Amino acid sequence: MDPTPARPLPGTGYAVHPVGLDGSVFGWVAGPEDAADALSGFVDAGGDLISTADHYAGGRSEIMIGNWLRGRSDRDRLVIATKIGRHPDAPGLTRASILAAVDASLVRLQTDRIDVLSFDGDDRRSPLEERLAAFDELERAGKVGALGLSGYEPDRVRELAAAADGAGPRVLLGEYSLMQRAPEDGLLPLAHAAGLAFLARLPLASGYLSGRYRSRAELPESPMFAAASTHIGRRGTRVLAALDEIAAEHGTTSGVVALAWVLSRPAVSCAIVRARNGAELLGVLPAVPLVLGRAELVRLDAASA
């Protein structure tokens, strides 16, 4: 695969491949062998950002990534990102929970640091200052790199940034696709204005935009992809029709075009995709070099409006 220009994650010191790997399927619909296949295929293709969470599959996702990561000589070129706050052994974002969650994740991931640590959800029971102090403690200990936020409303991002006095979050994570454009009204403009990285989760709308589920008779085989069925309807059919037409013009698939649309958005630093094995991952990577024309982007914007 030709070298792909890395995209910077502003303020973190990292620059990453435009497509990241979402480990949420590991331990659920991907076993250890398929997970290792997806991870190896991803890195061999030039990928470097691996995203997971401490609660995915009860921690099995991190364990599978850690088993694969153990002993690799290229650890320093990888960006390992995980989210904390929802594991039953370390729930919430109090200082004690944050410190315990990070130590547990480091053990499961079999690494000495988490490059991007994200608070997963806004635990209103813990003061923002307490969360920031815990992160600062971990950062000074060399256990974490950049701070990320997942599931935060724009106003809360601003509050946390203000409380941090310049040393706050550098990465925002949010669901973003042709079927989920809410970030355009809040998180994306905020990321652009504040110089924050935005990582687009579920850019294929839980698989719906791959064209795999077009009717109620084609329901997802796993609860992990159940959200795809919520997009079945007039709007979804309209979007798939536009994707199919553009894909045919480029000799590719609807999923590749849907991912290319996400990557075309200026504020998006990286799109994090799910892949159950190496072959599934390689099927969407052609989105990286695909440049959609202005008329094609307008067609997709109109179809998904």
- pLDDT tens, residue by residue, 265-291: 999 999 999 988 888 888 999 999 999
CA distance 242 to 231: 15
Who wins on pLDDT, 221 or 19? Answer: 19
Is 176 designated active site?
Answer: no
- Measured distance CA(271)–CA(116) in Å, rounded: 15
The catalytic residue among 14, 56, 152, 176 is 56
Q: Residue 229 above 90 pLDDT?
A: no
| Tokens encoding 81 | 């990102």
Instruction: Please compute the mean of the pLDDT values over residues 213-221 and round it to a whole number.
Output: 68
pLDDT of residue 30: 92
Per residue, the 3-state secondary structure of 93-148, as one string, reads: CCHHHHHHHHHHHHHHHCCCCEEEEEEECCCCCCCHHHHHHHHHHHHHCCCEEEEE
Flag whether pLDDT at 216 surpasses 80: no
Rg (CA), the chain: 19
From residue 270, alpha-carbon distances to 48, 233, 239, 301 in Å are 11, 28, 22, 20
Residue 1 CB coordination number (10 Å): 12
| Helix axes of 95-109 and 60-69: crossing angle, nearest 10 degrees | 50
- Banded pLDDT at 262 (limits 50, 70, 90): very high
State how far Cα 59 lies from the chain centre.
Answer: 17
Q: Strand runs (DSSP E) across the chain, as ranges?
A: 7-9, 14-16, 19-22, 49-51, 79-84, 86-87, 90-91, 114-120, 144-150, 171-175, 197-201, 270-274
Residue 223 has pLDDT above 80, yes or no: no
Taken in order of first residue, the domains within the chain and their CATH numbers are 7-304 (3.20.20.100)
Q: In terms of pLDDT, which residue wins out, 245 or 214?
A: 245
Q: Which pLDDT does position 224 carry in this prediction? A: 65
Contacts of 227 (CB under 8 A, 6+ apart): 202, 205, 206, 208
Tokens representing 125 are 């029971």
Mark residue 213 as left, alpha or beta (left: phi above 0; alpha: psi -120 to 50; beta: remaining): beta
Residues 6+ apart with CB under 8 A from 139: 145
**Of 24, 44, 41, which Cα lies nearest the Cα of 33?**
41
pLDDT in tens, 133-171: 999 999 999 999 999 999 999 999 999 999 998 789 999
CA distance 45 to 286: 11
- pLDDT tens digits for 43-76? 999 999 999 999 999 999 999 999 999 989 999 9
**Apex CA 298: angle with CA 295 and CA 301, to 5°?**
155
pLDDT (0 to 100) of residue 213: 78
128-140 helix and 154-164 helix, angle to the nearest 10 degrees: 60
Going by pLDDT thresholds of 50, 70 and 90, the confidence category of residue 217 is low
Q: Provide the pLDDT confidence category of residue 2 given band limits of 50, 70 and 90.
A: very low
